[in-house]
């Protein structure tokens, strides 16, 4: 079994994923961390040098690989669903949970972030709102289950995911 988590930056994919993997006795894999390990460079630096398209190509290759390996919880980068190939691979080969939060809550969590290249803009709150508007339908299309993450605690979220498996 592969359980994968999709959602906006700051929706809790890595935190929930790590706890969930421990509870299920599965390996935890984070596609961003795997990309950074292969690059030997942060995603922020890679974006600055090579641009978003090059990053998306790399992300697609990594997700294609990671969705083959069985027995893990996979946290994906927030933009993974932008590529139809990623949505298809995730939906076909894994149980996909969309961790859904409002842009207001995401901004509250990410307002001091310096690592996410797409949020290093003059008005990150507006950027988050636009990203959410564009991506919410894509996350929904990719996911088997939607979990609202605005209010519940991490243990409550994990309970909700476990109930669906
Ligand atoms: C991105 C989200 C990041 C990372 C990259 C692009 C996005 O992952 O993959 O900076 O397009 O939303 P997180 O969702 O883990 O922040």
pLDDT tens digits, 29-52: 999 999 999 999 999 999 999 999
CB 24: neighbour CB atoms within 10 A?
Answer: 18
To test the pocket of ligand 1, the residue of 33, 45, 53, 78 to mutate (highest count of ligand atoms within 8 Å of its CB) is 78
3-state secondary structure of 72: strand
Query: What percent of the chain is predicted at pLDDT more than 90?
Result: 88
From ligand 1's centre to the CA of 17, what distance in Å?
15
Tens digits of per-residue pLDDT, 49-79? 999 999 999 999 999 999 998 899 999 999 9
Nearest CA to ligand 1 atom 11: 79
Residue numbers of the domain that contains 118 = 2-164
Residue 20's pLDDT band (boundaries 50, 70, 90)?
Answer: very high
Q: What is the mean pLDDT of the chain?
A: 95
Q: Which atom of ligand 1 is nearest to the CA of 11?
A: 14
Interstrand relation of 2-6 and 27-30 (parallel, antiparallel or unpaired): unpaired
Q: Which run of H or E residues covers position 28?
A: strand 27-30
Task: Quote the pLDDT of residue 146.
Answer: 95
Q: Is 43 in the pocket of ligand 1 (CB under 6 A)?
A: yes
Residue 151's pLDDT band (boundaries 50, 70, 90)?
Answer: confident
Number of domains in the chain: 1
| CATH code: domain of residue 110 | 3.40.50.300
């Amino acid at each position: 079994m592969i359980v994968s988590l999709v959602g906006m930056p700051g929706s809790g994919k890595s935190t929930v994923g790590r706890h969930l993997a421990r509870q299920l006795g599965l390996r935890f894999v984070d596609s961003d961390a795997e990309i950074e390990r292969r690059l030997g460079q942060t995603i922020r630096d890679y974006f600055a040098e090579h641009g978003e398209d090059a990053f998306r190509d790399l992300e697609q290759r990594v997700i294609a690989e990671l969705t083959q390996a069985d027995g893990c919880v996979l946290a994906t980068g927030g933009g993974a669903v932008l590529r139809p190939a990623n949505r298809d691979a995730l939906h076909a080969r894994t149980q996909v949970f969309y961790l859904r939060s409002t842009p207001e809550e995401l901004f509250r969590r990410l307002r001091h972030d310096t690592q996410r290249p797409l949020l290093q803009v003059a008005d990150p709150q507006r950027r988050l709102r636009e990203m959410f508007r564009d991506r919410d339908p894509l996350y929904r299309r990719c996911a088997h289950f939607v979990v609202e993450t605005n209010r519940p605690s991490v243990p409550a979220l994990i309970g909700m995911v476990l109930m669906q498996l």
